[in-house]
Amino acid sequence: MGKYTGPSCKLCRREMQQLFLKGQRCLTDKCSVKKRKYPPGPPRKRRSKLSDYGIQLREKQKIKRMYGLLEKQFRRIFEDASRAKGITGAQMISLLERRLDNVVYRMGFASSRMQARQFVQHRHVLVNGKIVDIPSYRISVNDVVEIRDKFKNNPILEGAIKLSKAVSSVPPWIEIDFENKKGKIIRLPERSDVPSTFNEQLVVELYSK
């Protein structure tokens, strides 16, 4: 499975927006977007105005990097969304939210999606009582996601839960039990459940050309 292995902070700086790729670090003054308010690379003598295509491309890159996907993975999700009933952009966001690594992150069991992906790949996560080590596994309604017993007292997990309780709230489509380190999907995520930090319609327009 392919994945990005370069510096995460450069991705945030390229989009000039916090994508929260490094957990707690993103909430401190060490965040590179706060320290360096300019894109990585050599300084440009003149900033030209982005074309419509450039604006659409930047929005796609922002969403793709936020969820930690490569182009092929992201394109496959868009194609699934375009075949589903309803608004393509909203369906795409719903499918992204239903990825197992994102669900673990949304439940507060990881401080970032990257950390959630590691937990899944290291076989620390159960879905309906069975180990699932595929981060892209698509969660459905009534699925129960929980942390394996041998990992429930891990200090990294405890730290992630503590941070999550302090800075974020559990999405309304998830029912969470922090004491037993488990959660249940009570309905499918909707576009209104996701903060409006991006415009998915621009991605639809880009791929529809």
Helix 88-97 to helix 71-83 angle, to the nearest 10 degrees?
130
pLDDT-above-90 percentage for the chain: 62
Instruction: Please tell me the predicted confidence (pLDDT) of residue 1.
Output: 47
Distance CA 206, CA 209 (A): 6
Domain ranges in the chain are 8-96+195-207, 99-188
Instruction: Please tell me the predicted confidence (pLDDT) of residue 169.
Output: 81
What would the pLDDT profile of 9-58 be if each residue is shown by its tens digit?
A: 556 555 556 565 555 555 555 555 555 665 666 666 556 678 889 889 98
Low-confidence ranges of the chain (pLDDT < 70): 1-48
Distance CA 136, CA 96 (A): 9
Topology at the third CATH level for domain 99-188:
3.10.290
pTM: 0.80
Top CATH class, 8-96+195-207? mainly alpha
Integer CA distances (angstroms), 5 to 10, 68, 70, in order: 12, 10, 11
Is residue 93 helix, strand or coil?
Answer: helix
- Contacts with 97 (C-beta within 8 Å, 6 or more apart), sequence order: 103, 106, 171, 189, 193, 194
